[in-house]
């Protein structure tokens, strides 16, 4: 659908070529992501243990450590207990502070979906990775010992994708987060990046794939608009620390624009209350669609429908496009259109239109073009934002749908995003 226009947009914005990319001294590592069709969670596939096997873990940006079911169906001869006298144990959340024989490191683990807390113990096992082929021609396999939580509470897995064995915590300040452990183990800066673009051959939502990089770029990818390889061009905004939720990734959204119009919203909702941790904007790829606090959501939808009205009036004068027609909404969305009436206008017009949604940061703007609409069912395109409720903990949670590529640069405390943030496919 409308692929020629998207081709055009891609060609328009690509200007950095493969050859300009700087090679880092310590090549990073890369893992494939898989998207679960029922929960829409992203799973990272990790090769671990002896004999080596693939374990799938749900990516949790705000999690303190990786944890999984190491008791059932996981028989690894390289698995070791981490002693409660070790420095690694001192970095974990612990239900008890005692350290008696046999010196097991008892820890608390948290399910990011249900938010329930369970018991476990700290173990370590070998993880085998390949260096990123983007910055090292021949990927070099290597192994490191990685600390994991081993879940002891059996109902701690509810809400997690069936194919997963646990959770890959990528929390910001935790020494046990997968990002921190890889950075120390492989001696590269504490940076990771997620690529949630759909694979080129695969346009169905249920089979969406992606990648997660650790250790920095370049992020070379095949750009089908120009049929060549290119690095990603990133723009940055500072990451904020929420004193009550230090592991999570908050950003400073100052205002929101919908098709160029700034929304009139209660600005207090956009800042973090330092005492309660309530408010502000965070990134969470476990959430499939961006959620907005109810008053922001209503203002957002109003601006969107007014834009559609303006287009229809302009069309009435031009007489060469059908009116965009509202149809019954498909939950969780509230505003849907007959997708056959949504026609992307020619390049000369596209060139002049404002981005569908802009998150305005202090010194940069994250423009979301094209993929603010999602095909919810055949023939029905919905505004892909969801009402986050009246009193949510966080006012805006930017979810997977609105993310193409993001770099979490913990070292420099900044978030890198593509400008503009385009997804290669409209309907997934």
Residues with a catalytic annotation lie at: 60, 284
* Binding residues for ligand NAG restricted to 64-83, rule: CB under 6 A: 75
Q: Give the chain's radius of gyration (CA, Å).
A: 22
Verify binding: residue 135, ligand NAG, rule CB under 6 A: no
- Least distance in angstroms from the C-beta of 255 to ligand NAG: 11
CB-CB contact of 131 with 145 (8 Å): no
Q: Which residues contact 130 (CB under 8 A, 6 or more apart)?
A: 29, 30, 139, 140, 141
Q: How far apart are CA 420 and CA 152, in angstroms?
A: 45
Q: Residues 319-348: x/- map of binding to ligand NAG (CB under 6 A)? A: ----x-------------------------
- At residue 10, φ and ψ (nearest 5 deg) are -65, -45
Q: Of 44 and 336, which has the nearer Cβ to ligand NAG?
A: 336
* Binding residues for ligand NAG restricted to 161-180, rule: CB under 6 A: none
- Least distance in angstroms from the C-beta of 273 to ligand NAG: 4
Q: Residues 236-265: x/- map of binding to ligand NAG (CB under 6 A)? A: ------------------------x-----
Encoded tokens for 83? 């002693």
Element spanning 347, H or E: helix 347-350
Judged by CB under 6 A, the stretch of 125-133, 164-172, 205-213, 309-317 that binds ligand NAG is 309-317
- At residue 407, φ and ψ (nearest 5 deg) are -110, 125
186-to-123, 210, 250 alpha-carbon distances in Å: 19, 22, 27
- Least distance in angstroms from the C-beta of 271 to ligand NAG: 8
Q: Of 55 and 191, which has the nearer Cβ to ligand NAG?
A: 55
CB-CB contact of 281 with 269 (8 Å): no
Q: What is the DSSP letter of 71?
A: S
* Binding residues for ligand NAG restricted to 266-295, rule: CB under 6 A: 273, 275-276
Among 177, 237, 358, 428, binds ligand NAG (CB under 6 A): 358
Q: List contacts with ligand NAG (CB under 6 A).
A: 75, 260, 273, 275-276, 312-313, 316, 323, 354-355, 358, 365, 367, 419-420
């Amino acid at each position: 659908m409308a692929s020629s226009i998207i081709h055009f947009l891609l060609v328009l914005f690509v200007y950095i070529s493969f050859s300009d990319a700087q090679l880092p001294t310590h090549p990073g590592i890369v893992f494939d992501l898989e998207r679960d069709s029922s929960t829409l969670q992203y799973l990272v596939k990790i090769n671990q243990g002896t004999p080596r096997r693939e374990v799938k873990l749900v990516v949790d940006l705000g999690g303190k450590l990786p944890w999984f079911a190491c008791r059932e169906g996981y028989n690894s001869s390289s698995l070791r207990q981490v002693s409660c006298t070790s420095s690694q144990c001192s970095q974990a959340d612990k239900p008890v502070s005692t350290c008696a024989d046999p010196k097991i490191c008892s820890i608390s683990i948290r399910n990011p979906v249900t938010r329930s807390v369970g018991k476990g113990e700290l173990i370590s096992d070998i993880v085998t990775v390949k260096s990123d082929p983007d910055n090292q021609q021949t990927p070099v396999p290597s192994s490191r010992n990685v600390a994991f939580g081993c879940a002891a509470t059996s109902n701690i897995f509810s809400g997690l994708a069936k194919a997963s064995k646990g959770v890959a915590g990528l929390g910001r300040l935790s020494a046990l987060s997968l990002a921190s452990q890889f950075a120390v183990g492989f001696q590269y800066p504490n940076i990771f990046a997620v690529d949630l673009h759909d694979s080129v051959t695969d346009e169905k939502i249920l089979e969406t794939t992606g990648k997660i990089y650790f250790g920095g770029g370049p992020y070379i990818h095949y750009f089908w608009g120009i049929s060549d390889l290119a690095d990603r061009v990133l723009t940055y905004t500072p990451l904020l620390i929420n004193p009550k939720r230090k592991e999570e990734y908050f950003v400073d959204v100052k205002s929101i624009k919908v098709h160029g119009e700034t929304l009139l919203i209660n600005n207090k909702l956009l800042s973090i209350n330092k005492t309660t941790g309530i408010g502000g904007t965070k990134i969470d790829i476990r959430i499939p669609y961006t959620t907005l606090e109810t008053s922001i959501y209503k203002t957002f939808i109003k601006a969107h429908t007014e834009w559609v009205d303006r287009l229809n009036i302009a069309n009435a004068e031009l007489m060469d496009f059908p009116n965009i027609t509202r149809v019954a909404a498909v939950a969780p969305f509230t505003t849907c259109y007959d997708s056959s009436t949504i026609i992307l206008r020619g390049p000369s017009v596209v060139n002049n239109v404002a981005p569908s949604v802009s998150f305005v940061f202090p010194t940069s703007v994250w423009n979301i073009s094209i993929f603010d609409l999602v095909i919810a069912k055949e023939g029905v395109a919905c505004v892909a934002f969801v009402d986050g409720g009246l009193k949510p903990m966080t006012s805006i949670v930017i979810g997977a749908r609105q993310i193409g590529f993001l770099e979490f640069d913990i070292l420099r405390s900044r978030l890198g995003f593509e400008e503009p943030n385009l997804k290669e496919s409209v309907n997934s």
